Amino acid sequence: MPVSYLPPVDQRASLLPAIFKYVPVRDQAELDRACAMIADRSLWFWHITGQNDERECQPEVFYGGGYEELHRYFLADFTEAFPDAGREVVERLARKAACNPQVPKPEQVYRMWAICCFSAACNCPHLWREYGAEGAGIMVEYPTPDGSSAGLAGKVNYTDEPVRLDLLRLDEHTAYRVFTTKTMRWAREQEYRLVERLDAPFSGCSFVYGDLQIASVTIGVRLQAASTERIRQICRQHGIEVKDA
* Confidence band, pLDDT 50/70/90 cuts, at residue 49: low
Residue 194 or 105, more confident = 194
Mean per-residue pLDDT over the chain, rounded? 88
pLDDT (tens digit, 9 = 90+) per residue, 186-212? 999 999 999 888 777 666 788 999 899
Check residue 233 and give its pLDDT.
Answer: 97
Residue 166 Cα to chain centre, angstroms: 22
Q: Between the ranges 2-6, 13-17, 196-200, where is the mean pLDDT highest? A: 13-17
Other Cβ atoms less than 10 A from the Cβ of 115: the count is: 23
* 3-class DSSP state of 58: coil
Q: pLDDT band at residue 2, thresholds of 50, 70 and 90?
A: low
DSSP H helix total and E strand total for the chain: 7, 13
pLDDT tens digits for range 141-186 = 999 999 899 999 999 999 988 888 787 777 777 778 888 889 999 9
* pLDDT greater than 90 at residue 122: yes
Buried b (16+ CB within 10 A) or exposed e, 33-54: ebbbbbeebebbbbbbbebeee
pLDDT per residue as tens digits for the range 65-103? 888 888 888 888 889 888 898 999 999 998 998 888 887
Global model pTM greater than 0.75: yes
